[in-house]
Structure 1
Amino acid sequence: MSEKQEHLRKPDWLKIKLNTNENYTDLKKMMRENNLNTVCEEAKCPNIHECWGSRRTATFMILGAVCTRACRFCAVQTGLPNELDLQEPERVADSVKLMNLKHTVITAVARDDLRDGGSGVFAETVRAIKRKNPFTTVEVLPSDMGGSEENLRTLMDAQPDILNHNIETVRRLTARVRARAKYDRSLELLRRSKEMYPDIPTKSSLMIGLGETKEEIMEVMDDLRANGVDIMTIGQYLQPSKKHLKVLKYYSPKEFKELWEIAMAKGFSHCQAGPLVRSSYHADEQVNAAAKERQRLGDQQVAGANS
């Protein structure tokens, strides 16, 4: 079988509508003028035209554009990172203000070369955004930062509105898919986050199509819930280049709907599941759903105390 035949043909539901309108071009220009990176571009996200062109949202990627890890699913450049840019938090905060964002997502490349895993700059970025944009909610999407509880505490003490850390794949495939990352270490980070700040919602993302079984997907859901995760996103893995892992299955919209139903039945407060769903997809809706769930639980506690 030839190399060309080995690749599955993309189904129709994965076709993307390009939207290079004024919003899209304005955001792209602003990112370049402020020397900012976005995971939207670096990871070749399929939703960039929707988010930039229609929703006017973006996920900022701090700590440079070079990652110290080489995960076999990710298109972000790997190698030796540059020195830290200590002015980056202020530039990101200024851009959030200029864009008039109600919700923003801040992610970062893995910085295993740094003792704090980049948590100090991460935390300062959250504080700068909140200082200059008091009505903007902030979601953070860090790496496991080497599994250090101290590094996680540094980030959590900045009190983001949502802590997002991606499990990425099922336990069996983790070593093959994720460089240096460990399945249980990711669960531990999510559990510790909830223990540190119980009122801050936690979130994780799973990409499917790498050879996992339905039972393994449900095991991930159970593991996330057992570690206090509130929000889950499930999306289709798409091979970013020939050197990355091949897609072994394209899940249909019907199958994603079934997975969404299973996730909600397992107790997640919110779930996004679909072929083009990514970790930051419609993140503004997720933070609103999380806020409503916190309000509902608070009302229940008040009612119980008064009964």
Structure 2
Amino acid sequence: MQDYDYEQQRKKIREKREKAQELLRAKKKSTPEKKPDWFKIKLPGGDNYTELKKNLRDNKIWTVCEEASCPNLTECWAAKTATMMILGGTCTRACRFCHVDTGNPKGVINQEEIANAANMAKVMALNYLVITSVDRDDLPDFGASHFANVVESVRENHPKTLVEVLVPDFNAVEEHMDTLAKSNPFVIAQNVETVKRLTHVVRDRRAGYEQSLNCLKYYKDNYPHISTKTSLMVGLGETMEELIECMDDLRSVNCDIITFGQYLRPTQRHLAVERYYTPAEFEELKNIAYEKGFKFVASGPLVRSSYKAADYLKHLREQGHEI
């Protein structure tokens, strides 16, 4: 029997440790320690904010805007726009940019969300409500029917509120996408999140760049009256050429709306920020997107998927559409 080579084993351990330390040093070097000045924001406040928050607590309603500590909360609430998360707080996927808990919800659905959505629209006198969710791969229809029930509840009980949905991919099953679309939301959003090359680094392995594009295409091909939307984070190591390629891919499936926002690292366990884009670069992305034919573009350091979502409605009305 050959003797175990302890020295060789120690050498391998040392090499692995040194390599790991080298990678850590490189990551620290490439990751800015301090956010740029343009990330300074005002804390939520004002009489309208205080009154709305009290009404929400009295009615036991919580918004994504608050739970995610959204920097745009006061601005959106003043415009009577808000975001609500449904299907619980545990996601069945584990994207490397997202701070939502990952696990197995075991098929549990809170049916009170259906009434809560309509009540939230009423309490906040909303013009525009964005409904989003975690991924629910544990459900037979991936949560599509619950999404549809929530949308229909808002439309029936508070018809003045337009509803945008930011939905999972429902595993690209057309039957489930039909279930959602037949509830007739104003906008259907499905986020590609990042450029093609970085998809499998940034997103869960069950998500896919082509799959998201195919979902957007299916909704537009079969429900052309519903606007489609997507969002990208920047600062993950993508190039401008890749972002332009992504815009071309999205326009090839007739995606109507696109937003660009800066990726911010939730914790040290998540992907590092490779760089911060300047306001001028966000303006350049916005101009390119409009040149590509997108109907509406939101682009800026603090822009998130649902940021100023109702501005699309304002944009349409300014163009003469009766909505």
TM-score with structure 2 setting the length? 0.85
Instruction: Give the drift of 1:26.
Output: 4.0
Q: Which runs of 5+ in 2 are unaligned?
A: 1-24
8 Å contact 1:37–1:64 — kept in the other structure? no
- Partner of residue 84, structure 2: 60
Matching of residues 291-302 of structure 1 within 5 Å: 295=321
The yes-or-no answer on 1:73 pairing with 2:97 is: yes
CA distance in 1, matches of 2:166, 2:320: 21
Matching of residues 158-307 of structure 1 within 5 Å: 158-179=183-204, 180-290=206-316, 295=321
Q: Cα gap change, 1:29/1:243 in structure 2, threshold over 3 Å: closer, same or farther?
A: farther
- Partner of residue 301, structure 1: none
CA distance in 2, matches of 1:169, 1:293: 30
Q: Secondary structure at the match of 2:102?
A: coil
| 1:38 counterpart letter in structure 2 | T
Q: Secondary structure at the match of 1:283?
A: coil
Matching of residues 135-174 of structure 1 within 5 Å: 135-174=160-199
CA RMSD of aligned residues (A): 2.1
8 Å contact 1:66–1:76 — kept in the other structure? yes
Instruction: Give the drift of 1:97.
Output: 1.0
Moved more, 230-239 or 20-29: 20-29
Instruction: Give the drift of 1:5.
Output: 5.8
8 Å contact 2:39–2:301 — kept in the other structure? yes
The yes-or-no answer on 1:134 pairing with 2:153 is: no
Instruction: Give the drift of 1:42.
Output: 4.2
CA distance in 2, matches of 1:3, 1:222: 31
> Could you report, residue by residue, the CA deviation over 1:47-81 in whole angstroms, capped at 9, with x for unpaired residues?
234334x4343200001111111111111122122
Q: Which one of 4, 10, 13 corresponds to residue 38 of structure 2? A: 13
Q: Which runs of 5+ in 1 are unaligned?
A: 297-307
Instruction: Give the drift of 1:145.
Output: 1.2
| 2:196 counterpart letter in structure 1 | R
The number of residues matched between the two structures is 295
Of structures 1 and 2, the larger Rg is shown by: 2
Moved more, 12-21 or 175-184: 12-21
8 Å contact 2:64–2:84 — kept in the other structure? yes
TM-score with structure 1 setting the length? 0.89
CA distance in 1, matches of 2:278, 2:299: 11
CA distance in 2, matches of 1:3, 1:295: 49
Q: Cα gap change, 1:74/1:25 in structure 2, threshold over 3 Å: closer, same or farther?
A: farther
Instruction: Give the drift of 1:292.
Output: 5.5
| 1:286 counterpart letter in structure 2 | Y
> Could you report, residue by residue, the CA deviation over 1:253-289 in whole angstroms, capped at 9, with x for unpaired residues?
1111111110000001110111111111111111332
Percent identity, aligned pairs only, is 50
